[in-house]
Amino acid sequence: MKPKKVIFSAMQPSGTPQLGNYLGAIKNWVGLQEDYSCRFCVADLHSVTVRQDPESLRQNSLSLFALFLAAGLDHERGIVYFQSHVPAHTQLTWALSCLTYMGELNRMTQFKDKSQKHSDNINAGLYTYPVLMAADILLFRADLVPVGEDQTQHVELCRDVAERFNNLYGDILTVPEPFVSGAAARVMGLSEPSRKMSKSENGSENNVVFLTDPPEIIAAKFKRAVTDSDNQVRFDPENKPGVSNLINIYRAVTGKTVPETEKEFENSGYGAFKTAVAESVIAELSPLQDRYSRLMADAPFLEAAVKRGAERAAEEAAPLLKKVMDAVGFAPR
Q: Kindly list the domain boundaries of the chain, sorted by start residue.
A: 6-185+299-328, 199-293
> 3-class DSSP state for residue 79?
strand
Closest CA to 86 of 290, 309, 261, 314: 314
Q: Are 116 and 92 in contact (CB under 8 A)?
A: no
**pLDDT (average), residues 187-210:** 83
The reported pLDDT for the residue numbered 202 is 52
Q: Which of 5, 27, 196, 240 is catalytic?
A: 196
> For residues 83 and 148, which has the higher predicted lDDT (pLDDT)?
83
Distance separating alpha carbons of residues 44 and 252, to the nearest angstrom = 28
Q: Which of 4, 5, 117, 199 is catalytic?
A: 199
In the chain, the N- to C-terminal Cα span, in Å, equals 37
The reported pLDDT for the residue numbered 15 is 81
Q: What is the pLDDT of residues 135-157, one digit of tens each?
A: 999 999 999 999 876 678 889 99
The answer to whether residue 114 is catalytic is: yes
Burial of residue 67 (CB within 10 Å: 0-12, 13-18, 19+) is buried
Q: Which of 27, 114, 221, 274 is catalytic?
A: 114
Q: What share of the chain in percent tops pLDDT 70?
A: 96
Fold agreement between 6-185+299-328 and 199-293: no
Q: Using the CB atoms, write b or e for 190-211: b if 16+ within 10 Å.
A: bbbbeebbbbebeeeebbbbbb
The reported pLDDT for the residue numbered 201 is 54
The answer to whether residue 256 is catalytic is: no
**Is residue 186 scored above 90 in pLDDT?**
no
**What stretch of H or E contains 41?**
strand 37-42
Closest CA to 68 of 89, 40, 37, 48: 40
- Count of all residues that appear for the chain in the document: 333
The reported pLDDT for the residue numbered 198 is 79
Residue 47: other Cβ atoms inside 10 A:
21
The answer to whether residue 240 is catalytic is: no
Distance separating alpha carbons of residues 225 and 198, to the nearest angstrom = 14
Whole-structure pTM value: 0.92
Burial of residue 48 (CB within 10 Å: 0-12, 13-18, 19+) is middle
Distance separating alpha carbons of residues 137 and 93, to the nearest angstrom = 11
Q: Are 17 and 11 in contact (CB under 8 A)?
A: yes
Q: Domain 6-185+299-328 is classified in which CATH homologous superfamily?
A: HUPs (3.40.50.620)
Distance separating alpha carbons of residues 82 and 105, to the nearest angstrom = 25
Mean residue pLDDT of the chain comes to: 92
Q: Options 1.10.240.10, 3.90.1150.10, 3.40.50.720, 3.40.50.970; which CATH number does 199-293 get?
A: 1.10.240.10
**What stretch of H or E contains 322?**
helix 299-328
Q: What is the pLDDT of residues 69-78, one digit of tens each?
A: 999 999 999 9
Q: What share of the chain in percent tops pLDDT 90?
A: 78
